[in-house]
Amino acid sequence: MSTMRIVYHYALARGLRKWKSRKELERWQERQILRHIGRVRVQSPFYREWWGDAETSAWRSFPIIDKRIMMKHFDQLNTVGISKNEAMTLAGESEDTRDFKPSVQGITVGLSSGTSGNRGLFLVSEREQDAWTGTVLAKLLPGGLWKPAKIAFFLRANSNLYESVQRGKLQFQYFDLLEPVHTLVERMEEYRPTVWVAPPSMLRMLADAYQAASLTVTPEKIISVAEVLDPLDRKVLERVFGQTIHQVYQCTEGFLGATCRLGTLHLNEELVHIEKEFIDPVSRRFVPIITDFSRTSQPIIRYRLNDILTEAAAPCDCGSPFTAIERIEGRCDDTLYFSHRHTGEEVPVFPDFITRAVIAASSDLEHYRVVQRRDGSLEIALRLWGNSDDLEWVKGEVQRQLMKLGERLECTVPQTDYVPYTFEPGMTKLRRVERQRG
């Protein structure tokens, strides 16, 4: 690990490298991508065969890959000679022992949570780790690199990558989501961190503890990771802690986005190029196809994610040329389907439509989940603040909002069953809207 390299990337992300316009940024990206593809073509047997004789300048027409293809060809795709079995064994042992420090040949190995049913591996070299650390610190630290900060990091699994932010005046503690909540709260009271990084479901648990006075510490900055930040959760957290909730858009495939000082999520386009595969141009919803020109250990080039993003309608007032994102809506797989009233065809119902319908039903809503079962029916779980005597009335309001949505989309709302709300943070990510498959 190189302190100088970390500081260099910190300085770049803090403004040492600037672009006067969006067009200037895009020209710079093109140069970076062409150089990167030239290196990858030499180092990665998979990509060399995948692209064939296609000219580097025609990279936008290269065939797209996804997680399934990446995992199938993992051994030939990565450029550091690590096999899928070797990486999977190390990552599995780390999860079993909860010791996340081992690496292979100096390469950090990580494992995604696998909410899509297909767990992904990621490889990060020391050089890439330094670049990631410097960039993350620049984008997330509230007071700069040399101001003392105590970071509390909640996630299902730790990594050398995350631990690398601990240096100098920066303290870091990993909080394992598999531990009981009361134990985590006790550790928070003792550690008293100034920066909280956690999934929204865990942040809600901390908010509950804060309101119950079992947690008395308040942070300078709260950063939501790993799960979609639902509008309901954002509203509750900002009310309880009296501050903007920031976000990081990070996945196996890279550090893809972070919020600016105004709280707007921007894509990290100094690291990745994002092609927008629009699925609903009117509402600005798109699926990102990413090309990461900052990583060579595990090249990610024209990789189609399974996420639905909504582009902001206007540029952010912060002045950044990077694309502003209104909301990360969820996975494509969690788009629900209702039947058209007249044709019987399946009508896609985006997760945000469901979220807005449920939240509009009552201001007393504390938690909710909507699951479309395999047979097409809906299972809805609700929990209210305080008096649960109003639950039946709220169920009726949710149903009325869903019927209004159905009328607007000219489709029939499926059979709906209401069940008690139960969810605990841990191995499973919270998905407020989910479609079961299989």
Q: pLDDT tens for residues 302-327?
A: 999 999 999 999 999 999 999 999 99
Interacting residues of 438 by C-beta distance below 8 A, sequence separation 6+: 374
Domain 3-330 adopts which CATH fold?
A: Rossmann fold (3.40.50)
Residue 372's identity, in one-letter code, is Q
**Taking residues 82-95, what's their average pLDDT?**
83
User: What is the pLDDT at residue 102?
Assistant: 63
- Sign of the alpha-carbon torsion through 72, 76, 77, 83: positive
Among the residue ranges 47-51, 329-333, 334-338, the one predicted with the least confidence is: 329-333
- Give the CA angle between residues 290, 296, 299 to the nearest 5°: 40
**Taking residues 47-55, what's their average pLDDT?**
96
* Phi, psi values for residue 296, rounded to 5°: -120, -20
- Give the residue extent of every domain in the chain: 3-330, 335-435
User: Is pLDDT above 50 for 186?
Assistant: yes
User: What is the pLDDT at residue 160?
Assistant: 56
Give the span between the Cα atoms of 41 and 43, in whole angstroms.
Answer: 6
Among the residue ranges 112-116, 137-141, 150-154, 334-338, the one predicted with the least confidence is: 112-116
Token representation of residue 55: 């000219």
Query: How high is the mean pLDDT of the chain?
Result: 89
Q: Could you confirm whether domain 335-435 is CATH 3.30.300?
A: yes
pTM of the model: 0.85
Residue 117 binned pLDDT confidence (cut-offs 50, 70, 90): very low
User: What is the pLDDT at residue 180?
Assistant: 85
Give the span between the Cα atoms of 297 and 127, in whole angstroms.
Answer: 10
User: Is pLDDT above 50 for 116?
Assistant: no
User: Tens digit of pLDDT for each residue in 387-438?
Assistant: 667 899 999 999 999 999 999 999 999 999 999 998 876 667 888 999 998 6
Among residues 374, 321, 399, 406, the alpha carbon closest in space to that of 18 is found at 321
User: What is the pLDDT at residue 115?
Assistant: 46
Give the span between the Cα atoms of 175 and 173, in whole angstroms.
Answer: 6
